[in-house]
Amino acid sequence: MERDIIERLAMDHALGELDTDTAALFEAYLAEHGEVRCWAQAMTETCVRTRKAIGQKTQPVDGKRHVPRLRGLGPDAIAWRTWGRRAAVVLVCLGLGIVAGRWSRPQIATPRTVVIRTESTSAPSDWRQVLSRPDQGFWESKAVAMLQTRSEETPRAHTGQRNLWDRYRQPKKEWRYE
Residue 52 included in any domain: yes
- Rounded mean pLDDT of 150-173? 64
Residue 51 included in any domain: yes
Residue 29 included in any domain: yes
- % of the chain with per-residue pLDDT over 70: 62
Helices and strands of the chain, counted as H and E runs = 6, 2
Q: Could you please report the per-residue DSSP string of 42-108?
A: HHHHHHHHHHHHHHHHTSPPPTTSPPP--TT-SHHHHHHHHHHHHHHHHHHHHHHHHHHHHHHSPP-
Residue pair 150/121 in contact by the 8 Å Cβ criterion: no
pLDDT tens digits, residue range 50-68?
989 988 888 876 666 666 6
Residue 8 included in any domain: yes
Q: How far apart are CA 147 and CA 140, in angstroms?
A: 11
Residue pair 80/109 in contact by the 8 Å Cβ criterion: no
Q: How far apart are CA 25 and CA 21, in angstroms?
A: 6
Q: How far apart are CA 150 and CA 121, in angstroms?
A: 11
Residue 36 included in any domain: yes
Q: Would you state the pLDDT for residue 69?
A: 65
Residue 156: CB atoms within 10 Å: 11
pLDDT tens digits, residue range 112-131?
777 777 666 665 566 566 56
Residue 147 included in any domain: no
Q: Is 154 exposed, middle or buried (0-12, 13-18, 19+ CB in 10 A)?
A: exposed
Q: How far apart are CA 9 and CA 22, in angstroms?
A: 9
Residue 133 included in any domain: no
The residues, any chain, with a CB within 8 Å of residue 104's CB and separated by 6 or more, are 163, 164, 165
Q: Would you state the pLDDT for residue 95?
A: 94
The residues, any chain, with a CB within 8 Å of residue 51's CB and separated by 6 or more, are 15
- Which is more confident, 77 or 43? 43
Residue 19 included in any domain: yes
Q: Would you state the pLDDT for residue 171?
A: 64
Count of domains observed in the chain: 1
Q: How far apart are CA 173 and CA 119, in angstroms?
A: 44
- Which is more confident, 49 or 122? 49
Domain that holds residue 9: 3-57
